[in-house]
Chains A and B, each alone.
Chain A
Amino acid sequence: MTNYIIRRILQAIPQLVIISIILFSLMQAFGDPIATLGGRVPARQEDKERLRRQLGLDQPVYKQYITWLIGNNWQKIDMDGDGVPETPGKRLGVLRGDWGNSLVTRQPVTRMIGERVGNTMLLMLTAEILIIILSLAIGLYSALHPYSLLDNVVTSLSFVGYSMPVFWLALMLMYVFAVNFRRWGLPYLPTVGMYDPAVGKTPLELLKHMILPLATLVIISTAGYSRFVRSSVLEVLSQDFVRTARAKGLASNAVVMRHALPNAALPFITIIGLDIPFLLAGAVVTERIFAWPGMGRLFIDHTERSDFPMLMGILMLIAVTVIIFQILTDILYSFIDPRIRLG
Chain B
Amino acid sequence: MKRNLFVLMSLIVLGSMILAACGSAAPATEAPAPAATEPPSAATEAPAATEAPAATEAPAAAPSGTATITFVQEPDNLNPMYTSMSFSGYLRPFYSKSVWDFDENSQPVPVLVTEIPSVDNGGVSADGKTITFKLRDDVKWSDGEPLTADDFAFTYDMIMSDKNTPLGRYPYDPYVESVTAQDPTTVVVQLKDPFAAWLTSLFYWGVLPKHTLQPVFDADGTIDNAEWNRNPNPSLGPFMLDQWETGSGLTFKANPDWINPPKLEQIFVRIVPDDAAQEAAILAGDSDIGTFLSSDQIEKLEAGGKVKVVPVSSGYNEAWFLNVNPDTARPFMLDVNVRKAIALATDRFTIVNDLLVADINPVNATFWDMTPPYNSDLEPYPYDPEQAKQLLDTAGWTDSDGDGIRDKTIDGKKVDLIVRYATNTRELRKSIQAVVQQQWQDVGIGVELANYSSDIFWNSYNDGGPQALGEYDVAEYSSVMNAYPDPDTDGFTCDQIANADNPDGTNFQGYCNADLDALFKQQAVETDPAKRKELFNQIEQIMYDDYVYIGFWNDPDLSSVSSRLKNVKFSGVYPFWNAYEWEVSE
Partner of A45, one of B85, B463, B496: B496
25 A-B pairs with CB atoms under 8 Å apart are: A32-B463, A36-B84, A36-B458, A38-B85, A44-B168, A45-B496, A47-B167, A50-B169, A51-B167, A87-B221, A107-B225, A118-B23, A121-B13, A197-B270, A198-B266, A200-B31, A201-B23, A289-B274, A291-B272, A292-B247, A293-B245, A300-B273, A301-B74, A305-B76, A332-B5
Which B residues are within 8 Å of any A CB, using their own CB? 1-2, 5-6, 9-10, 12-13, 15-17, 19-24, 27-32, 35-36, 66, 68, 70, 73-74, 76-77, 82-86, 162-163, 165, 167-170, 173-174, 221, 224-225, 229-230, 245-249, 251, 266, 268, 270-274, 276-278, 280-281, 283-286, 316, 453-456, 458-460, 463, 465, 478-480, 490, 496, 502, 504-506
Q: Is there contact, CB below 8 Å, between A119 and B247? A: yes
Closest chain B residue to A127 by CB distance? B13
Which A residues are within 8 Å of any B CB, using their own CB? 30-32, 34-51, 54-55, 79-81, 87, 101, 104-108, 112, 115-119, 121-122, 125-126, 128-129, 171, 174-175, 178-179, 182, 188, 190-195, 197-203, 206, 262, 265, 288-294, 297-298, 300-301, 304-306, 332, 335-336
Partner of B20, one of A43, A45, A119: A119
Q: Is there contact, CB below 8 Å, between B10 and A191? A: no
Q: Is there contact, CB below 8 Å, between B162 and A191? A: no
Q: Is there contact, CB below 8 Å, between A40 and B225? A: no
CB contacts (< 8 Å) of A200 on chain B: these are 24, 27-32
CB contacts (< 8 Å) of B2 on chain A: these are 265
Partner of A122, one of B17, B173, B224: B17
A333 → chain B closest CB, angstroms: 10
Closest chain A residue to B504 by CB distance? A45
Q: How many angstroms between the C-alpha atoms of A294 and B245 in the bound complex?
A: 11
Q: Is there contact, CB below 8 Å, between B277 and A42? A: no
CB contacts (< 8 Å) of B31 on chain A: these are 197-201
Q: Is there contact, CB below 8 Å, between B21 and A125? A: no
B246 → chain A closest CB, angstroms: 5
Q: Is there contact, CB below 8 Å, between B480 and A290? A: no
Closest chain A residue to B463 by CB distance? A32
Q: Is there contact, CB below 8 Å, between A35 and B224? A: no
Q: How many angstroms between the C-alpha atoms of A292 and B230 in the bound complex?
A: 20
Partner of A191, one of B27, B66, B277, B506: B277
CB contacts (< 8 Å) of A336 on chain B: these are 1
Q: Is there contact, CB below 8 Å, between A201 and B247? A: no
Q: Is there contact, CB below 8 Å, between A32 and B246? A: no
Q: In the complex where A107-B225, A193-B248, A197-B268 touch, is A129 in contact with B10 (Cβ < 8 A)?
A: yes
Q: In the complex where A31-B459, A35-B463, A48-B460 touch, is A293 in contact with B280 (Cβ < 8 A)?
A: no
Q: How many angstroms between the C-alpha atoms of A343 and B465 in the bound complex?
A: 53
Closest chain B residue to A114 by CB distance? B19
CB contacts (< 8 Å) of A116 on chain B: these are 246-247
Q: In the complex where A38-B83, A51-B167, A191-B286 touch, is A289 in contact with B13 (Cβ < 8 A)?
A: no
Partner of A43, one of B28, B36, B168, B248: B168
CB contacts (< 8 Å) of A104 on chain B: these are 76-77
Q: Is there contact, CB below 8 Å, between A32 and B167? A: no
Q: How many angstroms between the C-alpha atoms of A194 and B16 in the bound complex?
A: 14
A168 → chain B closest CB, angstroms: 10
CB contacts (< 8 Å) of B1 on chain A: these are 262, 332, 335-336
Partner of B277, one of A32, A46, A262, A289: A289
CB contacts (< 8 Å) of B274 on chain A: these are 288-289, 291
Q: In the complex where A34-B460, A39-B86 touch, is A121 in contact with B12 (Cβ < 8 A)?
A: yes
Closest chain B residue to A298 by CB distance? B247
CB contacts (< 8 Å) of B286 on chain A: these are 190-192
Partner of A194, one of B9, B85, B169, B248: B248
Q: Is there contact, CB below 8 Å, between B463 and A31? A: yes
20 more contacts with CB within 8 A, not counting A192-B272, A293-B271, are A35-B455, A36-B84, A36-B458, A46-B173, A47-B167, A107-B230, A115-B246, A121-B15, A121-B16, A129-B10, A171-B276, A192-B280, A192-B281, A195-B24, A197-B268, A201-B31, A202-B28, A291-B273, A293-B247, A301-B74
CB contacts (< 8 Å) of B271 on chain A: these are 291, 293
Q: How many angstroms between the C-alpha atoms of A182 and B268 in the bound complex?
A: 21
Q: Is there contact, CB below 8 Å, between B248 and A291? A: yes
Q: In the complex where A45-B496, A106-B229, A179-B280 touch, is A32 in contact with B247 (Cβ < 8 A)?
A: no
Partner of A201, one of B6, B27, B283: B27
Q: In the complex where A44-B490, A81-B162, A335-B1 touch, is A297 in contact with B247 (Cβ < 8 A)?
A: yes
B242 → chain A closest CB, angstroms: 10
Closest chain B residue to A107 by CB distance? B230
Q: Is there contact, CB below 8 Å, between B505 and A197? A: no
Q: In the complex where A35-B463, A332-B1 touch, is A191 in contact with B32 (Cβ < 8 A)?
A: no
CB contacts (< 8 Å) of A80 on chain B: these are 162
Lowest 9 A-B CB distances belong to which pairs? A293-B247, A200-B31, A39-B84, A118-B19, A121-B16, A45-B504, A197-B268, A80-B162, A31-B455
Q: In the complex where A116-B246, A192-B272, A291-B271 touch, is A106 in contact with B225 (Cβ < 8 A)?
A: yes
Partner of B456, one of A31, A46, A178, A291: A31
Closest chain A residue to B246 by CB distance? A115
**Residue with the highest number of chain B CB atoms closer than 10 Å, among A32, A36, A118:** A32
